Chains A and B, each alone.
Chain A
Amino acid sequence: MRKLQFAVFALAMCLITAPGAFAADTIKVGVPLAMTGSYTGAGENYWQGIKMAIDEINEGGGLLGKQLEVVRFDSKEYAPEVVMQGADYLCGQMKVASVQAGWSGWGQDVRAYGKYDQPFFCDDGSEAAVQVFREDPEKYGNIFQLTDTGINQAKSMFRVLMALPQKHHNNKVVIINTDDAWGTEVGDTMVESFKEKGWDVAKRETVPYGTIEWGPILTQIRKIDPAIIHVEIPSSQEVITFFRQFMKAPTNSVLSYGWSIVPREVMDTLGKEADGLIGEMPTAMPGPKAPNAKAQAWVDKFEKLYGHSPQGGSWAVYSGVMAWANAVKAVGDETKFKEINKYIQEHGYVGETGLWKWDADNVVRAGGDVPVGHYQVQNGQLVCIYTDPPTKPYADYKYQTPPWIKN
């Protein structure tokens, strides 16, 4: 019996470790994303962008003449030990040449992947992750953030809210955010920014995920009758129910959704109903008309592949793969991780819209050729009305007064 038990166990262990034994002349790229659990939807957005980039490289003859091979890892619900296991599996066991991760936490990922040297691209948008990086920039030199922090994104949202050609009937604002790291980071920054400008933050509410009955909060909002309501909940069912219940008896308020506009279901479900909503997408391709022909070609290709417009993060992770591939080409050897990291850090990457530049914190700060896009829903479509920083109107799209505001 014990022999059998041991044999089963040994067999199991062999099966786990077997894939590492096969060495072929492909370059492995690790992709840890949520494939099960509550973050599956976001994981899918990222996967579309990463897959598009990798297929493109492979169709074009591969990288350094070798085909790219994807190694996936299920990050489930991002418990710390799972993130750590992902790093050990991909970098330690599978010996991937690079990891393309999408959103992967707020610092746990930096610690877990910082142990290795392989270039790691993520879309955390988190100040906490940057703080971890600053503890030891040398050690964490392989971590590249594709998105600016929540603090800077919130500041960008605030600047655009102030720039809107909208006459406010008072200077009261209500801020609602979730209780996770992203929600509190954006919420705190918004409160600060509004207070600095002399606005009255009449209500700040932190809500747990899963809130779908908004009666008590809306009752208070209706009493306050604020000029601006900002909702920062990166999950679709909460923001859709909020919008529908708000519309039962709307106040004369600009409704700003921040990143909450990004989950695809929000636009799919609400469509034209949502006309007037404001939101942002960091490191997103402005649209519907892209800034130049090259960028437009990218958008067209994406839409042809997947049948819908690119979602938050898809373009960012696509660019992450391309930036890495570009550096590998320049260095000429995919295993010289330190040199590749140094190349990315020094030269950045020239994408569809222009230069992606990583700063001293290895973060692509918003601005320049890759600004934060600020959108409004117009006629059932997300329309980029501003890019920031610097705050300037995008193309010839104009802000429209939301239909529910009656002055």
Chain B
Amino acid sequence: MSLEIIDVIISGLITGSVYALMAMGLTLIYGVTKAFNFAYGSFYTMGGYIAWLLLVPIAIAGGYFSVFLLAVPLLFGIGYLLEKFLVAPLRKYDDWEVKVMMVTLGLSLFLDNGYMAVFGGRMKSLPTFVSGQIEIGGAVIMTQDLVIFILAVGGMLCFRWILRNTRTGLAVEAVAQNPAGAQIVGIRKEVIFASTFAISTIMVGLGGILLSQKYFVAPVGGGDIMIKSWVVTAFGGMGSVQGSLYAAFILGMLEAMVGWIFGMDYVMISIFVVLLTTLAVRPKGLMGRG
């Protein structure tokens, strides 16, 4: 019995770290630019396809190391340009939030079906990052799950540290809190907006690479990721990095527990109920602000 609970807790932690990895970029982009990016899931898939392209048909030397090396500037460039050309021109409108939603919806339709046209509808699998499994006191953990857990938690903490302790991070924070005020003190808000968008693209793209090697790359897989990240960030409080981290693990644990006790069919309903109750008590999520 006790071993069973440990097993369930471990699987909750695995799901939690997967969610944390997915949601990291979304909370950043909403927190700073207040723009809701519907194409978020498509960037996740983009990361997966970049890795697949480099590793399988090109068979690049250096394996995942080279993939990360190439993917980071590539994703940054794509994110930056997309913000400049698609999102930034819309900020002048009153209802720019809706317009950004629509434009990114169009972008995600375009990208997802573009993947389908280029790579075909069948899903691809990536070579595993690390293989093998570790046994700790009767419980078996796959090494790659451990790596994902460490990267998710470590990444989130690292990210929070950067936001709070570096000049760039503080500038981003300042824009998030008061764009007009930040501009007055000499921070170039447009650059910060575009960079934030680009950094969030990197985050979700790298998350996509890491998780795609655990699961798969599929052209229509992005929608699901988008919805899950959305739930996690809203639950944790949009814009709060710490909140997202807690939310990811709470929801991961909830999913594992509900699945274990009541069955997988009730997972979605229970998540919805918990989300509603949380929002009823705290309308901005667990740790939401402003």
User: Which A positions have Cβ atoms within 8 angstroms of B?
Assistant: 36-38, 40-41, 43-44, 179, 205-208, 210-213, 215-220, 222-223, 236-237, 240-241, 248-249, 264-265, 269
CA distance A248 to B8 in the complex (A): 14
Residues of A within 8 A of B215 (CB): 212, 237, 241
Whole-angstrom CA separation of A236 from B121 in the bound complex: 12
Q: Are A37 and B220 in contact (CB under 8 A)?
A: yes
Looking at the complex, which one of B14, B121, B264 makes contact with A217 (CB distance below 8 Å)? B264
Most central of B12, B133, B220, B264 by chain A CB within 10 Å: B264
Whether a CB of chain A sits under 8 angstroms from the CB of B94 is: no
B1 to chain A, nearest CB (A): 9
Q: Which B residues touch A205, using CB under 8 A?
A: 263-264
Using Cβ atoms and an 8 Å threshold, which residues of chain B touch A36? 113, 116
A-side contacts of B256, CB under 8 Å = 213, 215-216
The dominant DSSP class at the B interface is: helix
Among residues of A, the one whose C-beta sits closest to the C-beta of B227 is: A210
CB distance from B136 to the nearest CB of A (A): 13
The residue in B140, B216, B268 that gathers the most chain A C-beta atoms within 10 A of its C-beta is B216
| A81 CA to B261 CA, complexed, in Å | 38
Residues from chain A with a CB closer than 8 A to the CB of B14 are: 213, 215
- How far apart are the CA atoms of A43 and B10 in the complex, in Å? 38
Does B4 sit at the interface, judged by CB under 8 A? yes
> Is the Cβ of A265 less than 8 Å from the Cβ of B264?
no
**Which of A37, A213, A248 is within 8 Å of B133, CB to CB?**
A248
Q: Is B8 a contact partner of A236 (Cβ separation < 8 A)?
A: no
Question: B122 an interface residue at 8 Å Cβ cutoff?
Answer: yes
Bound form: Cα–Cα A38–B256 in Å: 26
Q: In the complex the two chains form, is B263's CB within 8 Å of A219's CB? A: no
- Min CB distance A180 to B, Å, is 12
C-alpha spacing A43/B121, complex, angstroms? 10
A211 touches B264 (CB 8 A): yes
Instruction: Evaluate contact between A237 and B123: CB separation under 8 angstroms.
Output: yes
Min CB distance, B169 to chain A, in Å? 33
Q: Which residues of B contact A40 (CB under 8 A)?
A: 116, 121
A–B Cβ pairs within 8 angstroms, 5 of them: A207-B265, A213-B15, A216-B8, A216-B256, A236-B123
> Across the two chains, which residue of chain B brings its CB closest to A209?
B224
Contacts of A236 in B (CB 8 A): 123, 216
Query: Which of chain A's residues have a CB closer than 8 A to the CB of B263?
Result: 205-206
Contact B122 A265 (CB under 8 A): yes
B211 shortest CB reach to chain A, Å: 10
Query: Assuming the A-B contacts A36-B116, A215-B8, are A237 and B264 also in contact, with contact meaning beta carbons closer than 8 angstroms in the complex?
Result: no
Residues of B within 8 A of A217 (CB): 259-260, 264
Min C-beta distance of A191 to chain B, whole Å = 15
A248 to B263, CA, bound (A): 21
CB-based nearest B residue for A241: B215
| Bound CA–CA A359/B8 (angstroms) | 50
Q: Does B11 contact A (CB under 8 A)?
A: yes
How far, in whole Å, are A262 and B242 apart by their CA atoms in the complex? Answer: 43
- Residues on B with C-beta less than 8 A from A213 are 11, 14-15, 18, 255-256
Kindly name the residue among A44, A206, A215, A237 whose own CB sees the greatest number of chain B CB atoms within 10 A.
A215
A240 vs B122: C-alpha distance in the bound complex, in angstroms?
Answer: 14
Q: Is B125 an interface residue (CB 8 A)?
A: yes
Q: A215 with B15: in contact, given A40-B116, A265-B122 (CB under 8 Å)?
A: yes
Which residue of chain A has its CB nearest to the CB of B261?
A: A216
- Measured between beta carbons, the chain B residues less than 8 angstroms from A269 are 125, 216
Q: Which 5 residue pairs are nearest across A and B when measured between Cβ atoms? A: A215-B11, A40-B121, A216-B259, A216-B260, A207-B264
B-chain residues with CB within 8 Å of residue A220 when the two chains form the complex: 4, 260
Q: A213-B15, A237-B218 are in contact. Are A219 and B7 (CB under 8 A)?
A: yes
**In the complex, which residue of chain B has the Cβ closest to the Cβ of A39?**
B121
B162 within 8 A of A: no
